[in-house]
Structure 1
């Protein structure tokens, strides 16, 4: 799994690269994120371990993967993570709104409200 995660980091989509630039190196509200983090049998796109929050950037392939995504999200939630899914087009067209929602989710998690 670690090798697969390493490969995913090296072959990040333009959407993932853009999102990573916005949140990397504690740039986003002081929170540390990891890319392509192995969590159990899954690899999460972006993970803030402190807030136990996962951000998934979803492209068109996810329109037909509802059942898989639901099982995956349920497993991650059972492990104490919250999953925030963002469509690629949403990231491009509504970047500020996505970052505002991310900020709120991070603070809910660390303040014990979510």
Structure 2
């Protein structure tokens, strides 16, 4: 069952995580865009557009399509780079038990899939998605498989990680502390909850690895 709620009114109170997280990056205020202007713009690929023939019709169509393809490629690369930067930034907050003392593993293998971040102690997977992942059937298959293995999945937008780092960490901490214990699907996050007994798991899995 998936429950849609308004986070402003219904989200459980979140404990401040500022003491458990790194301070804002030097020169960057919380809530400000950290990507330097133009840093993610990439030069177009491919060669020059062929000269037009006497009528110019066929060449004009090909030129329009070529420009459209270049623009699409640039946008896709920009989104991928922003997603990678968001994951790197979030890892700075999660590594070395910096968030509430919980241990996270990066790129953790679960069957044929790799989770962005996983806390095996709490059986929680944290995924950072770009907008190209919105309502992705592949991500739904990943979620179904990981849930079948006993993991809860928290999906966050890379945009929120880049601009609202403290709030993101507070949400992760609330999930780890058990303050989110039901399915949630709202505009800025998606949480798929799995109830599983750690006692029965620990008899089969070494969590100390």
| TM-score calculated relative to the size of structure 2 | 0.44
Three-state SS of the structure 1 residue aligned to 2:126 is strand
- 1: CA distance, partners of 2:145 / 2:156: 19
Runs of 4+, deviation exceeding 4 Å: none
Aligned residues between the structures: 99
1:39 paired residue among 101, 105, 110? 110
Structure 1 residue 61, shift from structure 2 partner: 2.8
Distance 1:16 1:71 in 2: 21
**Aligned-partner Cα distance in 1 for 2:147–2:87:** 22
The residue that corresponds to 1:100 in the other structure is 170
**What SS does the corresponding residue of 2:177 show, helix, strand or coil?**
helix
* Higher fraction of strand: 1
2:122 paired with 1:51:
yes
Structure in which a larger fraction of residues adopt helix: 1
How far is the alpha carbon of 1:60 from its aligned partner? 3.1
SS at match of 1:19: helix
What are structure 1's unaligned runs of at least 5 residues? 1-11
| Residue correspondence of structure 1 range 78-97 to structure 2 within 5 A | 78-97=148-167
Higher Cα Rg: structure 1 or 2? 2
TM-score by length of 1: 0.79
State the distance in 2 between where 1:26 and 1:34 align: 10
Q: CA RMSD in A?
A: 2.0
Aligned-pair CA distance for 1:78 = 1.3
Instruction: Give the counterpart of 1:18 among 89, 92, 99.
Output: 89
Tell me how far apart the structure 2 counterparts of residues 16 and 95 of structure 1 sit (CA, whole Å). Answer: 11
